[in-house]
Amino acid sequence: MEINKLLEDVRRGNVDSFEPVIRMYEKNIYRFCFFMLGNRQEAEDAAQDVFFKAYRHLGGYDERQTFKAWLYKIAENHCRNVLKRRWKWLRLLPLFRSDSRTESAEQAYSEQMGTEMAFWFKDLSLPEKKLLFLRAVEECSFDEIAQMMGESAPTLRKRFERLKRKLRAKKMQEEEMCDERRLELR
């Protein structure tokens, strides 16, 4: 069924018509949230919140843009707010944390993944992360991304090229550091 037909059914009060909409986009939105947040549990929660917000504010959806673009905009704003809250908590948390802390294997894995992602993406702005995700992971065209980000496709194409150079330079820097560590161990 076409997305606009489903959305129109939801607007008319057929709540069940929103379930296929969720199924259509849930994996993409989860991956986007994970890419932005770097934590599986936070990404799951964020994805649910994004769909809840989309449902609640469906009356504000303007059909001149694609529903996908509108949904990603909600996801971006939500992830931005989650990150702001996280930084606030990270500043306060050391005041309340005890030294004896146990964590599950899932938490340890999630932290490890978050640490690896943090290394590669710590120097990227949220718009750069969004551009990288939409182009490299979701394989969206620059025209689609332009609609989602409200910028021109040529501008985004140029920004993506700069972003690739930035990540290549970081990779080369990391490889040089690894080589230096290996030499030190000899």
Say if residue 25's pLDDT is above 80.
Answer: yes
Contacts of 149 by beta carbon, 8 Å cutoff, 6+ apart: 127, 130, 131, 156
| Per-residue confidence band for 175, with pLDDT thresholds at 50, 70 and 90 | confident
d(CA 131, CA 174): 23
Q: Which two tokens stand for residue 21?
A: 């909409």
- The pLDDT of residue 47 is 97
- % of the chain with per-residue pLDDT over 90: 45
User: Domain residues of the chain, as ranges?
Assistant: 3-185
Question: Does the pTM of the predicted model rise above 0.85?
Answer: no
pLDDT digits (tens, 9 = 90+) for 92-144: 555 555 544 555 555 555 555 555 556 667 778 888 888 988 888 788 899 99
Q: Is 5 exposed, middle or buried (0-12, 13-18, 19+ CB in 10 A)?
A: exposed
Say if residue 174's pLDDT is above 80.
Answer: no
d(CA 100, CA 175): 35
| Per-residue confidence band for 22, with pLDDT thresholds at 50, 70 and 90 | very high
34: amino acid identity, one letter: F
Q: How many CB atoms lie within 10 A of CB 42?
A: 19
| Class in CATH terms, 3-185 | mainly alpha
- The pLDDT of residue 79 is 94
Q: Report which of 112, 3, 97, 102 is spatially closest to residue 58, judged by C-alpha positions.
A: 3
d(CA 9, CA 2): 11
- The pLDDT of residue 138 is 80
- The pLDDT of residue 149 is 87
